[in-house]
């Protein structure tokens, strides 16, 4: 689960050498294991706002000890600060007071979570300004924490207080190991009763591109959470696809998603075999790298078709008339850091993945009308067979240039998708969350 350099840094010699030379010392990340507690130590909570009750409730439910005053020498598994009460820039002082006194006590793989209110929803411009300012703080904290700890900002709309639980659990747990420096928005929503061990029990999920890499990990993770997973890939991947489906107790569907009749065939399959569909993960994607001046029309078209247009056509079916998508449906799209920042040699890919962001943002209101959600993950450097073929120096730069000083694992992307897919995540709609260890690269 760790790369060779990381293994070396954990040896006695490696530890000394990397320390002397000032080289990155990646901490093995805490990752979720079923049956283990979400947190391994107490949580220090601070701030004063509309979310204090919701935070307290979730911590009680997961059995975490909640402290209100920092105790000398204590190591905290998480610092959680309710900043929704901050109404102007002078009051940001309370944010400083809390964290300057406690941030050194964050444990290895600990968590910093600041909760605020969407700036764009506030009518008082000074309050909106102060709430927007929180982002500069949490991103800085993420870069200062080190040792596998993460930092996030969660904006909660009025009416979204009761919908905070799934997100708070995700961020506190090892499921968000490689998610840091992110801004998450939670809208007003009702949340059904949730079995937190098997949140996807009785749900039917479709995962495209499921035969390997990140797709296979998504299938495994959704199955772990109780879903029946229909693993989809092109016929050429049939063998590997069947292996994955067997492993997760799911089924297979061989289909070219770019085919004109793919949306209709999908609808038919789920209507007939499963009486509907609850979760769709658009994971299938291809790269055909060339600089813009050397790219062929076929390279452009195939990437746009697989990564964007086919998803658009399938989602039009899912959010339109005669849809197989059940009430409370979840659509998850996979974008990319390239789609956010652009990337040399990936004009086609970056365009398609920026389009995925536009797709999620423009379809979120349509999803909400149907009681569904649509969100995206944007992976950074994830350790897969694909990234293993990148030349050494480029690979090492991608791996180390983030707050974790290491690449993420496919399961980190999968856990983020499982958080979106959770029925309790009904308030999470239209989000784009990077799974990048707070990569330095951005836009």
**Touching a copy of itself, residues 265-294 (CB under 8 A):** 291-294
For every residue of 262-285, DSSP letters joined together read HHHHHHHHHHHHHSSEEEEEE---
Question: Is 126 a binder of a copy of itself (CB under 8 A)?
Answer: yes
Among 339, 379, 398, 427, binds a copy of itself (CB under 8 A): 339
Per the CB < 8 A criterion, the answer to whether 372 and 329 are in contact is: yes
- To a copy of itself, the closest distance from the beta carbon of 403 in angstroms equals 10
Sheet holding 106-116, edge to edge: 66-67, 43-47, 76-82, 106-116, 150-156, 182-186
350 interacts with a copy of itself by CB under 8 A: yes
Q: How far is the CB of 283 from a copy of itself (least distance, A)?
A: 18
Q: What are phi and psi of 210, to 5 degrees?
A: -90, 0
With CB under 8 A as the contact rule, the residue among 21, 193, 388, 443 that binds a copy of itself is 443
Question: Please, are residues 182 and 152 in contact by the beta-carbon 8 Å criterion?
Answer: yes
Q: Which two tokens stand for residue 400?
A: 């180390």
CA angle 153, 163, 93 (to 5 degrees): 35
DSSP 166: H
366 closest CA partner among 308, 433, 315, 324? 315
Q: Which of 32, 76, 81, 137 binds a copy of itself (CB under 8 A)?
A: 137
- Specify burial of residue 202 (Cβ count, 10 A radius: 0-12, 13-18, 19+): exposed
What gap in Å lies between CA 317 and CA 304, rounded to an integer?
19
Query: Minimal distance in Å, beta carbon 117 to a copy of itself?
Result: 12
Task: Decide: is 133 part of the binding site for a copy of itself (CB under 8 A).
Answer: yes
Output 136 or 238, the one with its CB closest to a copy of itself: 136
Active site residues per annotation: 349
Q: How far is the CB of 224 from a copy of itself (least distance, A)?
A: 31
Residue number with CB closer to a copy of itself (410 or 430): 430
Q: Does 70 bind a copy of itself (CB under 8 A)?
A: no
Instruction: Please report whether residue 16 would count as binding a copy of itself according to CB under 8 A.
Output: no
Nearer to a copy of itself, 91 or 254 (CB): 91
Which region, judged by CB under 8 A, interacts with a copy of itself, from 136-144, 171-179, 225-233, 237-245? 136-144
Q: Does 240 bind a copy of itself (CB under 8 A)?
A: no
Q: Total residues at the site for a copy of itself (CB under 8 A)?
A: 76
Q: Please, what is the Cα angle at 164 between 160 and 167, to 5 degrees?
A: 135
Asked whether position 136 contacts a copy of itself by CB under 8 A, the answer is yes
**362 in contact with a copy of itself (CB under 8 A):** yes
| DSSP states of 184-215 | EEE-S-------SSSTTTT-EEEEETTTSHHH
Interface positions, 289-318, toward a copy of itself (CB under 8 A): 291-295, 297, 300-301, 304, 308-309, 312
84 touches a copy of itself (CB under 8 A): no
């Amino acid at each position: 689960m760790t790369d060779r350099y990381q293994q070396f840094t954990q040896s006695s010699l490696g530890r000394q050498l990397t320390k002397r030379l000032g080289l990155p010392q990646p901490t093995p990340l805490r990752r979720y294991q079923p049956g283990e507690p979400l947190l391994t130590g107490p949580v220090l909570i601070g701030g004063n706002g509309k979310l204090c009750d919701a935070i307290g409730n979730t911590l009680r439910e997961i059995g975490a000890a909640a402290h209100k005053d920092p105790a000398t020498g204590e190591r905290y598994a998480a610092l959680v600060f309710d900043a929704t009460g901050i109404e102007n820039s002078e009051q940001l002082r309370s944010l400083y007071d809390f964290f300057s006194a406690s941030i050194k006590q964050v444990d290895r793989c600990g968590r910093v979570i600041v909760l605020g209110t969407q700036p764009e929803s506030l009518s008082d411009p000074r309050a909106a300004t102060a709430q927007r300012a929180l982002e500069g703080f949490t991103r800085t904290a993420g870069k200062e924490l080190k040792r596998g700890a993460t930092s996030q900002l969660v904006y909660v709309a009025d009416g979204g207080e009761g919908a905070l639980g799934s997100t708070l659990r995700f961020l506190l747990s090892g499921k968000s190991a490689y998610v840091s420096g992110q801004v998450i928005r939670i809208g007003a929503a009702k949340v059904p009763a949730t079995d937190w061990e098997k949140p996807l029990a009785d749900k039917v999920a479709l995962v495209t591109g499921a035969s390997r890499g990140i797709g296979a990990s998504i299938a495994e993770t959704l199955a772990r959470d109780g879903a029946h997973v229909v693993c989809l890939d092109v016929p050429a991947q049939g063998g590997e696809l069947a292996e994955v489906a067997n492993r997760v107790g799911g089924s297979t569907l061989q289909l070219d998603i770019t085919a004109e009749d793919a949306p209709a065939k999908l609808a038919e399959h789920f209507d007939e075999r499963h009486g509907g569909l609850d979760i769709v993960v658009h994971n299938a994607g291809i790269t055909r790298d060339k600089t813009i001046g050397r790219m062929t029309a076929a390279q452009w078209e195939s990437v746009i078709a697989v990564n964007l247009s086919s998803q658009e056509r399938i989602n039009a079916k899912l959010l339109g008339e005669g849809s197989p998508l059940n009430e409370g449906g979840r659509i998850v799209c996979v974008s990319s850091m390239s789609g956010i920042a652009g990337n040399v040699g990936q004009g086609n890919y970056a365009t398609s993945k920026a389009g995925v962001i536009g797709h999620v943002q423009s379809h979120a209101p349509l999803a909400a009308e149907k009681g569904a959600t649509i969100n995206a993950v944007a992976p950074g450097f994830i350790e897969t067979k694909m990234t293993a073929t990148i030349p050494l120096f480029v690979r090492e730069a991608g791996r180390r240039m983030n707050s974790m000083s290491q690449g993420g694992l496919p399961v980190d992307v999968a856990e983020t998708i499982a958080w979106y897919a959770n029925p309790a995540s009904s308030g999470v709609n239209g989000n784009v969350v990077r799974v990048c260890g707070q990569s330095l690269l951005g836009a």
